[in-house]
Amino acid sequence: MVFNFVEFPFNNHILKSTLMAKAEKKPAKRSSSKIDDLSVNTENGAAQFLTTNQGLKINDNNNSLKAGERGPTLLEDFILREKTTHFDHERIPERIVHARGSGAHGIFKLYESLDKYTKAAFLNDTSAETPVFVRFSTVAGSRGSSDLARDVRGFAVKFYTSEGNYDLVGNNMPVFFIQDAIKFPDLVHAVKPEPHHEMPQAASAHDTFWDFNSLMPESMHMIMWAMSDRALPRSFRMMEGFGVHTFRFINSKNESCFVKFHWKPLLGVHSIAWDEAQNISGKDPDFHRRDLWEAIEAGNFPEWELGLQIIPEADEFKYSFDLLDPTKLIPEELIPVMRVGKMTLNRNPDNFFAETEQVAFHPGHIVPGIDFSNDPLLQGRLFSYTDTQLSRLGGPNFHEIPINRPLSPVHNNQRDGHMRQTINTSRTNYHPNSISEGSPMQAKAAEGGFVSHAERIDAVKVRERSKSFFDHFSQATMFFKSQSKPEQQHLIDAFTFELGKVEKVYIRERMLGLLTQVDKTLAEKVAGALGLPLPKAPEKPINHGVSADANENDTEPIKVKPVLEKSAALSMEGTVKDTVKTRKVAFLVANGVKDASLDKMKNALLDNGATVKLISLKQGAITTEGGNQITVDGSFLTDASVLYDAVYIPEGKKSISALMTEPNSIHFVNEAYKHCKAIGTGADGVAFLQETFVKEVGLENMNIEGAGVVTDGNADKFIGCIAAHRFWNREDFRKVPA
């Protein structure tokens, strides 16, 4: 039995470098044919009009064709289809986005029936265990890039239900950069390595990305998330997941409601520091992949609860934001998240390529009881995902690859094609037929047949965007104000780092102008760090969200008062901090380590679910004070503090003396202190700490709550410090020599 996961072509798609071919000034000899001349790309010439690949000038490159400004996207939008089709086929065989991923098998178990909201069988039967395959991923980087890039993380779940496969294809952030799918190729092209030199890999700190976003104010909310600590998760097991879009539930009475999907990790939501992330990329670029694999192999199965925000149809227009706008979230203070079931990942793949790499996700893989909204980003994704698989997996039969096969039977009249595996024996491959007595036949709704929600549509075909989408700053402001002080400082540092890598000053200035609309203090601090004056106002957007013929007085964005000033759910400060399960603790040891000190703390940590690794001056074995031989797990050459959640120095004067002579052991602790991790030792270890930066802040203050350094060997204190995750107040000491 196989399950599968990931791929979110509308997250942070690979930015396919736009071809910047320069026409030769003097070709050696070429035909004078006008048709032949059309092959010369003169992109660097004078101002040009956008056209389709057939040369048709485009009037609106910002909005897909919809039935009314809030209506569904129309299949006849040949511009959207051409643009997306070309984009989807730009990369083979890697995924265009979400190329680097890790997957795992598991099960989903429902707490209580949701038949009040949906007729989906797997959300009605509390006795069933639905198999799942989950794929986590980074978005912008290639398959060979680091796990630790500052990036959105894909969070895709394939449910193998009794009614067919259902794919919940989302991210670890609840919103996205753009509002309309027609802009997705532009976004990904901008974030991918720059086309002239293919740099930087898996990084957004470069001109093209910030040029695009500085001209697209709608990206500001997502930019705040991407620059926050959410873009640097401690582990896949410690990050939230979101469906991003608003979907529909349909119950057996054909009643509809809107729904937002959430995944809540039971270990809490935790991040790492940016300096730490950069170091991990060098020490272990497979850090997240290894963490997931090792946790499952050790029986520490990752768990998430499925959460739902249910919005009655009558409340569709109740809020100041639009439910169809993918750059907006619904604050949990307005609509609490109901936790309705638990997903447990309990088995690693047997073969990475066959499962994790070949798994094919698609937001259009749904079951009766779940349906779509008219979110214009979602509408475009419904076309793009299948189209992408045709190139990536070689043809239309990718559903027959084992990891993609549903558990429910498949009967239809589709035949042949590349890599066909099913051997059909029926004479008929059409419907209706009488030779096969009408089989396979249509299923009535009562028999489980899928029926689309009957939403009334009466609208004019337009390339426009609803004005309810024109608020780009209120939720960005709410997000920033909701962060704790350390999280706000990390945002300031992230903007400073990213914009500091941008070469063109006018792009930096344009972004600073947009930041003034989010929070003046944020903008001032970033401007100061960049050595630039703060713009008085942002630049006026160029034809954003409107066609080329729009009235200049009818442009966006608009100012809207935030629906809430703060939302506690947007900060990680209040997340779960009562467990050390699966946390990795490095014990620094050498010959002469005291047996009782080592064993007492090690056993206490293991009893609470943590993992302990012994790090010494060299690999092999050490001899304890009591004469026991202990094999160590690594040396200072093979290990680093950034790979651990905490550091402990057991007692033993001989061991401590040996560690004090090794500069790498001092660096190990300094770096752990710099990254705000828990540090522990006993009475003998105080002498060691005196050789580190810890002495600069005064060891006499280290045993108080909130300091994160324990010097009396108290196991309960140390475990409590590890559970707290980080002590960000230490970042005030920015002189740590590590």
CA distance 149 to 234: 12
Sign of CA dihedral 123, 124, 126, 131: negative
Q: Which of 643, 639, 645, 629 is CA-nearest to residue 662?
A: 639
Q: Which of 702, 8, 5 is CA-nearest to residue 385?
A: 8
To the nearest 10 degrees (0 to 180), the angle between helices 274-283 and 485-500 is 60
Compute the half-sphere exposure of residue 325: CA atoms within 13 Å on the CB side of its CA. 24
What would the two tokens of residue 227 be? 């620059």
What residues does 233 pair with on adjacent strands?
271
What residues does 529 pair with on adjacent strands?
none
CA distances from 414 to 424, 440, 609 (A): 10, 11, 51
Neighbours of 217 (CB within 10 A): 25
Q: Is 221 part of the annotated catalytic residue set?
A: no
CA distance 66 to 324: 13
CA distance 114 to 306: 12
Element containing residue 489 per DSSP (H, E): helix 485-500
Phi–psi pair at 558, nearest 5 degrees:
-115, 155
Specify the amino acid at residue 729.
N
User: In 3-state terms, the chain is what percent helix, strand and coil (to 5)?
Assistant: 30, 15, 55
What residues does 339 pair with on adjacent strands?
307
Contact yes or no for 64/42 (Cβ under 8 A)? no
CA distance 636 to 75: 60
Q: Is 44 part of the annotated catalytic residue set?
A: no
What would the two tokens of residue 205 be? 């700190």
CA distance 273 to 728: 9
What would the two tokens of residue 629 be? 């031989």
Element containing residue 126 per DSSP (H, E): none
* DSSP structure class, residue 90: S
User: Which residue pairs, CB below 8 angstroms and at least 24 apart, start in 40-44?
Assistant: 43/18, 43/19, 44/20
Length of the chain: 738
Q: Is 564 exposed, middle or buried (0-12, 13-18, 19+ CB in 10 A)?
A: middle
CA distance 496 to 227: 10
Contact yes or no for 587/598 (Cβ under 8 A)? yes
- The label of the residue with tokens 């995944």 reads 263
Residue of 171, 279, 397, 404 marked catalytic: 171
Give Cα 298 distance to the centre of its chain.
Answer: 25
CA distance 609 to 603: 10
Element containing residue 153 per DSSP (H, E): strand 153-161
Q: Cβ neighbours of residue 473 under 8 Å, at least 6 residues apart?
A: 217, 220, 221, 517, 518, 557, 559, 560
CA distance 312 to 256: 8
Residue of 62, 63, 98, 362 marked catalytic: 98
CA distance 34 to 37: 5
Neighbours of 104 (CB within 10 A): 27
CA distance 70 to 79: 19
Q: Are strands 646-649 and 256-265 parallel, antiparallel or unpaired?
A: unpaired
CA distance 652 to 345: 41
What's the Rg (C-alpha) of the chain? 28
User: Annotated active-site positions, please?
Assistant: 98, 171
